[in-house]
Every structure is written in structure tokens, then in C-alpha cells.
Amino acid sequence: MTRLCDHCDQPATVHETVIKTGVAHEVHLCADHARAHGYVLPATTGAAVSITQILQAAQQSQPRAPERTIRTCPSCGMTIANLQAVGLLGCPDCYKVFEELLSGVIQRAQDGASIHVGRHPAQAATLIDRAALRNRLAKELREAVSSEEYERAARLRDRLSSLGTAGDDDLGATLNTPALP
């Protein structure tokens, strides 16, 4: 008994049984519908065709999947698979090699930030600014004393002492000179 195409009443030339989730589905297609559904039919004149020829024709017509390169750090040999298994980078060069993969991980860990900003006490910024100002004024004071600009040096000394008492007892050590009266 000849089967007919599932889409028209032509005789089916392609018969396929597909098993999905344990259920068999039969598909019967004529030559035209088989080509329309992507099946590769060998051009024959009625001669017998081997299964090898059919498979070769099908393999040649399928688009090749792009070859995936395995990214490896040139310095330490770390691969993405190793990184995912261990969870640690092998060397500083790994940050550049795996930058695309790490950027998403870092952003998720830093609540959307692309760099690690760290944590610091609320007063740290003002203390750091104050220390930088102290260092700058101390440097200017040393320069004023060495160039014998005593009036300017006195103003700088007064300004340094007005910055607060924190660290004033270290002023002489900071200046590398004896504390001014």
C-alpha cells in the first residue's frame, strides 16, 4: 500500500518516524513537500541510491556550526571551564582574557557598577581630604621656611593648626622640622 503525502494527495517519497517524549509520529511527504521542509533528495533517474549517498548529501546541505574556540589565558593556561569550576582567576592577565565573562559577574556583584568601589566609613572621605590638605599645607610651610618667607610660613602654620586638633601633636613629625612656636 502506497502512502500519500500528508499535505497533498501525491505519492509520498519520504517517510520519517520521529519519536518525541516516547510517542512515535510518522511523517509522509511527496518530493515537493520534502524539499520545502528541508529534506535533501538525491537526483536520481530511478537507479538505486545507497544510504551513504543520502547521508552525504544531507551532511553537505546542512550549515556548519561555527567552531568554538576555547579561550585560554596565555600566561597561566586558565580556561573558562577551569574558571567556572574553581571560581578563582589564575593570574592578573586572566582579567583581560576573560573580561567579557567577568564584566557581567562583577556588575551583578556590585549592584550594577562595573568596577569595585569598596566600602569605607562615612567620615573617611572628609578625613582623607583633611589629610591631603594638611600634607599640602605642610609642604608649602617647609618651602616658605626654606625660602625665608617667615610671614607666609606663620600664616600656613596658623592655618594648619586651625584644621583641628587631630594629629596636631604629629605636626613636627609631618614637617620633618621642629614644631614652630
Q: How confident is the model at residue 178 (pLDDT cuts 50, 70, 90)?
A: very low
Cell of 175: 614637617
Q: What confidence score (pLDDT) does residue 36 get?
A: 84
Q: Which residue has the higher pLDDT, 109 or 136?
A: 136
Instruction: Tell which wins on pLDDT, 163 or 114.
Output: 163
Res 167 pLDDT > 80: no
The confidence score (pLDDT) of residue 48 equals 54
Mean pLDDT over each residue of the chain, to the nearest integer: 75
pLDDT at 181: 45
The least confident of 25-34, 91-100, 112-121 is: 112-121
Residue 168 has pLDDT above 50, yes or no: no
Closest residue by Cα to residue 177 from 133, 128, 152, 143: 143
How large is the average pLDDT for residues 69-97? 85
pTM: 0.29
Across the range 22-26, mean pLDDT stands at 80
Query: Is-contact 29 6, C-beta < 8 A?
Result: yes
The Cα–Cα gap between 146 and 148 comes to 5
Mean pLDDT to the nearest integer, 145-149: 94
Residues 42-52 pLDDT 10s: 655 455 555 66
| In the predicted structure, residue 64 carries a pLDDT above the cut 50 | yes
Give burial (CB, 10 Å; 0-12/13-18/19+) of 149: middle
Q: How far, in Å, CA of 95 to CA of 130, rounded?
A: 35
Q: Average the pLDDT over 80-107 and give the result.
A: 82
How confident is the model at residue 177, as a pLDDT? 45
Alpha carbons 141 and 153: distance in angstroms, whole number: 5
